[in-house]
Structure 1
Amino acid sequence: MDLALLRTFVTVHRAGSFTRAAALLGLSQPAVTSQIRHLEQQLGRPLFLRKARGVTPTTVGDELAHKIAPHLDALTAITEADDDADDRSAPRTLHLAGPPEFTSLRALPALAALIPHGLALRATFGSAEEILAGLAAGHHDLAITTARPRGGLLSATALCDEEHVLVASPRWAARLGGPAVLHARGVSALRDVPVVEVHESLPLVTRYWTAVFDTEPAVTGTVVVADLRAVLACVTAGAGLAVLPRYLCADALDTGEIVALLDPPVPPLRTYFLVVRTGTLGLPHIARTHEWLLRAAVDW
């Protein structure tokens, strides 16, 4: 069976669209359509269901992709590794995707040390769903996400855990009467405190309330802003309480700009994962970046 047909098939499967796959492969959309049709004729089974926007793999298509994608990626890795051996001085560009705060404050500063050694970086921010879809489609080389992907097309390695802290300004903390009062009264003590969050669904507050108070929050967001750094700024200014990663607010806690309202014996944690397309760790620039981030995360 023609490897070019299989490579086109895997690219369409990851991209979810003949048009996007054509752009990734440097082919015309009719050429991609023709190759997929030819492969389907060889197999005697449909591989995709055509829809108004893009395509959806059939069960046969999904099964084939999971079987062959790692092997095709491994062949690509071998080929590109040979190219690297021919030109060690050529900088390699790594396309990294991750959540904006963690990527900006943790990953990118750690990777700065690799820049003088031939690594170029392109960073993209997004939600976990957007990041994993982009990685599967070939738009990124390496992703950082709080969601562990399923299936065999993507491979995940645990990177680090982040601790979540319930914080507010000193003025709000004094109003609440301190941790002892909060421990005694429980979540009811927080009922009248404004909440600052990154989304209307209150993802961080909900996780904290469930883990620490064993209940769902009966509150709504007073300030909703889609960046944890902005959430921290609002809390520091006295807008209300928030749940933040400790790495993000450690300096503000140390200086007393904000206060931890509770110190639970088992604080809520969230795990970050390093995710690649299966087989691509054979590429030296991806493998080196992956290893470097794992080493840096030991101190996170």
Structure 2
Amino acid sequence: MVPTTTVQTAGQTGQTLGVPEIADPAKVAPRDARELSKVFFDQLAVLEEGTPEFQYARNTLIEMNMSLVRFAAGRFRSREPEEMEDIVQVGMIGLIKAIDRFELSREVEFTSFAVPYIVGEIKRFFRDTTWAVHVPRRLQEARVQLARATDELRSRLGRTPTVKELSDLMSLPEDEVREARLAANGYNSSSLDATINNSEDGESVLQDFIGTEDTALELVEDFHTLAPLIAELPERDRQIIHLRFVEELTQAQIGEHLGVSQMHVSRLLSRTLARLREGMLT
């Protein structure tokens, strides 16, 4: 759920401001709201931000133009009812941004200025919340561009386009096209318990077909068991183990490093490994 946007009408009356006093701005007809909005925007331009008068004019504008949010949200009426509540709330954020940024000097109708803000806020909401996993926004936008380019080239060529063909059409490097393809996999997800019909085995679940045995996983337990055994070894034996299995020196090189013969290193290493093996098995 998105944060709820609330609008409270200030106690200051419209008469004091030199604008019409409106008992219930939310019930003003859209046609009347267009004309009244010009009056309130004109007043808003000369009021000091943060004053009760400013808040009254701004909140009245918001409530009068809520029909624009309902109009824009209507484009997404196919969504679930609970989603529509979020859509309207997000649209209200777009409306408030439009009111705060609108200037009468633009010589454009407020409705024409506000609707793109409202729709843009709703689309941004979908882009940021409908992905199964989080991916950077540039890749979210590239996914849409990639889908359009793929459909266009598939229709034109009669086959699936290559990365180079997509790269040329999208004016993007081939690496970014590949990255967008990979990111598109994050848009939808499936439950590991999702049922899959298998003609041979009947019904199976998705988790039966993904993942492999991690043979290295068993080493984790071995390392946990081995660590205290190595810690108990004498300093020279620990050093030999380190030189042989961490630095990967030969027995002859270890002998030179310690000033002993290769044969002596071999005996010490065999004795130490036998001790560790015995400790692992007990």
TM over 0.5: no
TM range (shorter): under 0.3
Q: TM-score, with normalisation over the residues of structure 1?
A: 0.20
Q: Which is strand-richer, 1 or 2?
A: 1
Q: TM-score, with normalisation over the residues of structure 2?
A: 0.21
Q: Which is helix-richer, 1 or 2?
A: 2
